[in-house]
A and B are shown apart, each in its own frame.
Chain A
Amino acid sequence: MKILVCEDDYMVIKAIEHKLTREGYEVDVANDGRMANEKLRSKEYDLVITDLLMPFTGGLELINLLKNDLQKSTPIIVLSKVGNEETIIEAFKLGADDYLTKPFSPNELSIRVKRFLIKR
């Protein structure tokens, strides 16, 4: 199972990467919006975890890209510090499947990931 993590905070990436790799998933990483853009267009993933604030393209645009432009059904989990009502609603409207705010619990993240991937 391949997961793409789009996040610019190095520590967060490391934490998620470690946790998910231990659970047996294959984790690919994008450090900024542009990289994420390229990867989404060129590869297939079973799940995408993305932050909203990244250099170049923001998370909301990525969701739009994946769900509306590329028309893929890959589940998207948003993991962001931004927690205000509008942004959350906007994310779901654009097609996000789940929204976690930071600070997050790696255990919780892992369970949610599992939930999405079991369905596949």
Chain B
Amino acid sequence: MTHKEPLIEFRDVVKAYGTGEAEVRALDGVDLKVRDGEFVAVMGSSGSGKSTTMNILGCLDVPTSGHYLFRGVDVGELDRNQRARLRRHYLGFVFQGFNLLKRTTALQNVALPLIYRKMPARERNRRAKAAPKAVGLADRMHHSSSELSGGQQQRVAIARAIASDPAILLADEPTGNLDSERSHDIMRLLRKLNEEDGITILLVTHEDDMAEYAKRQVMFRDGRIVSDTGVQLREAI
């Protein structure tokens, strides 16, 4: 898992909404590199640009100017379907609102991205059964998502995100809808996945104690990065 180029690289990324006088810059010249195996927390208050960063990282949105390189590929030059393919093969998403499909069992939710990857049924079943074990939720996989608690739903969502073996797991406020105890459970799970399974994780949060679980904290304010412990660390060495 050694790549010369960073897994993710933002070069002077700007994201602007509106035009002229009404122009609002959600991101205003962001440079960021994330390497394989990292666990990065992107922090900031609401409106700081962290959600926009997440959308661009997730290939759901493209920069107005600047470049977003994923393994050296400029995502800004990809069309909608190419970005969907990139998501399909390299990205795993965990959302604040869990975003599981209703009226669908936990197991089927986990299998969904594998279906889109056109994985053969046997391999798909094997993976869809293995992933829940990694998140400590093997026994309730045949329950419909609405029958699960918030913490359990988020575990299913994490299982769904890692089942396809992504290059990076993008977690957007994964603890935002959970109480403190469940939040810490989820964060410990993410840390375990990073440390033991080597999964690269990028976490967006506004809670300091959640960000503590990550190895590196990047602080956003008004569309710019104001501090980055990874860079400080490297500069210090």
Q: Do A and B come from one complex?
A: no
Interface residues of B (CB under 8 A from A): none
